[in-house]
Amino acid sequence: TKTISKCYVQVTGMTCASCVANIERNLRREDGIHSILVALMAGKAEVRYNPAVIHPAAIAELIQELGFGATVMENCGEADGILELVVRGMTCASCVHKIESTLMKTRGVLYCSVDLATNKAHIKYDPEAIGPRDVMQVIKDLGFTTSLVKKDRSASHLDHKQEIRQWKRSFVVSFVFCVPVMGLMIYMMVMDSQISNAHGHHNMSSEEREALHSSMVLEYQLLPGLSVMNFLSFLLCIPVQVFGGWHFYIQAYRALKHRTANMDVLVVLATSIAFLYSLVILLVAMAEKAKVNPVTFFDTPPMLFVFISLGRWLEHVAKGKTSEALARLISLQATEATIVTLGPDNILLSEEQVDVELVQRGDIVKVVPGGKFPVDGRVIEGHSMVDESLITGEAMPVTKKPGNTVIAGSINQNGSLLISATHVGADTTLSQIVKLVEEAQTSKAPIQQFADKLSGYFVPFIVAVSVVTLLAWIIIGFVDFEIVEKYFLGYSRSISSAEVIIRFAFQASITVLCIACPCSLGLA
């Protein structure tokens, strides 16, 4: 008996089924090659060869001579089959032991663990030596009933509906309250410029300017120190802070709990500090019964939340689109297959309906007209037309006769076919496509990884800078009060210079934070 070894070769540059046929046809002619199986989507060839005659590197060279890139895959070893079963009828630990020991003695079973509490069995096997149906038969022979753990075929983990809803709500809330705040702000700016233009303001004393300011409707004080403008901004800001920013707060809290700083931390920091600072300043002004209304930052949180939640919402909508396409792809997979047993001269002896997951390599599967192909395979008997548009995009049906390959998920049209399964389970073309799209969705674009890495440094850096700003201005203020006085217009003479300095320093450092935060929009 000559020994047969098996190797996997990674093949690049294959574009369609004819490339696959070309490789398979040419390699079969070579000495020492027993069989070859090429999977187009996975880009790999499984070759069984006689090690006395040929070795894997030579096989890869043969493929390269045909014009494809080929490298021998190390440690790909056996792609172990994994089987999850529900086992009914176990009563005690000895049943568990009985099943485990019997399975471990079975040829081809590599690992097996049975859990009495959940009635589940987890089995690893070598698909070359044994298949899922054989494993189930072994357990049945011991007197237990088994069934497959039902896989969730609906691709619900790819569903972004909930996130889309949540960010949309976040955006709408922020937007509704942001518009009036923006309106107030623009109105203030316009009025300000009109006032300053109307009176060549160089020769105005600050008292006159204050008098003019307070004549504006929005600057009218409801209570001493509390203007209409600030009061309205405050009221509009609260719902945004609570409802619009809810998810940001949760995310930021989680990030800080794990001692990392992400985008959400920055957003939360800037908005919370702007909000709290403005609130404190208002309360101080009211306590002092100040004549001049303090400068607040209530406009920052709504605007930031609007931009960022809009971005998140759009991102999830885009992800949802891809996922929808994926879910449709997954739904194309057949759920059952008809396996037949053939006698001499291809006479049908028996047929049974089984779950697609139970089809083993080498099984003969019967596909009736109008049926879906459950697995990739080769036609053994029958002629038919097959609609492969889901994979190839080709609208016209393709003729299939013995020796042709068929693709899982494509639809058989007019004739009944018998096919021999070549790729089953996760190896079918359709599963590979689904896997590729899933991987593309879960992996990050390089630029995104870079941005994440940057924001890891960006957040602490910005916080540090604003603290430095705070301290610097406090020091400058106490050393030379004139500078602060020059930049901090309209403070009332009644408050102490120390308070003015601290207030100004805070204002400067908050400004740094609030300005750096939309800069994270640039990052985003």
Domains of the chain in sequence order: 5-72 (3.30.70.100), 81-149 (3.30.70.100), 157-194+215-323+446-516 (no CATH), 334-428 (2.70.150.10)
Q: What is the DSSP string of 75-91?
A: T-----EEEEEEEE---
pLDDT score at 76: 58
Report the pLDDT value the prediction gives residue 61, as an integer from 0 to 100. 92
pLDDT (tens, 9 = 90+) of the chain, 524 residues, equals: 568 888 889 898 888 778 888 888 899 888 889 888 888 777 888 898 998 899 889 999 999 998 899 999 876 555 677 888 999 988 888 889 999 999 999 988 988 999 888 888 999 988 778 888 889 999 999 999 998 887 655 555 566 788 888 888 888 888 888 888 888 878 877 877 777 676 655 555 555 555 555 556 666 777 777 778 788 888 888 888 888 788 888 888 887 887 776 667 777 877 887 788 888 878 877 887 777 677 677 777 788 788 888 888 887 787 777 777 777 777 778 888 999 998 888 788 888 998 888 888 888 999 999 999 999 999 999 999 999 888 788 889 999 999 888 999 899 998 999 999 988 887 888 888 877 877 776 666 677 677 667 767 777 888 889 899 989 988 888 888 777 777 766 555 656 677 778 778 877 887 787 677 655 555 55
Chain centre distance of CA 504: 44
398 beta partners: 386
pLDDT of res. 207: 56
Cα 122 from Cα 124, distance rounded (Å): 7
Q: How far is CA 207 from the centre of its chain?
A: 59
According to the model, what pLDDT value does residue 444 have?
66
Please give the pLDDT value at position 151.
67
Residue recorded with tokens 């919370």: 272
User: CA dihedral defined by 430, 435, 441, 447, rounded to 10 degrees?
Assistant: -120
Nearest partner of 424 among 352, 346, 364, judged by Cα: 364
State the pLDDT at residue 507. 77
- Angle between the 300-331 and 263-288 helix axes, to the nearest 10 degrees? 150
**Residues 228, 203: Cα–Cα separation, whole Å:** 29
pLDDT number for residue 385: 94
CA 428, chain centre distance (Å) = 24
Collect all residues with Cβ–Cβ distance below 8 Å to 180 and sequence separation of at least 6: 232, 236
What amino acid is encoded at 453 in this protein?
K
Tokens 């759009």 belong to residue: 314
Report yes or no: 246 and 170 within 8 Å, Cβ to Cβ: yes
**The pLDDT of residue 157:** 58
Three state DSSP letters for 355-387: EHHHCCCCCEEEECCCCECCCEEEEEECCEEEE
Amino acid identity of 523? L
> Could you tell me the CA-to-CA distances from 274 to 279, 304, 474 in Å, in that order?
9, 11, 19
Distance CA 368, CA 336 (A): 12
pLDDT at residue 421, rounded to an integer: 92
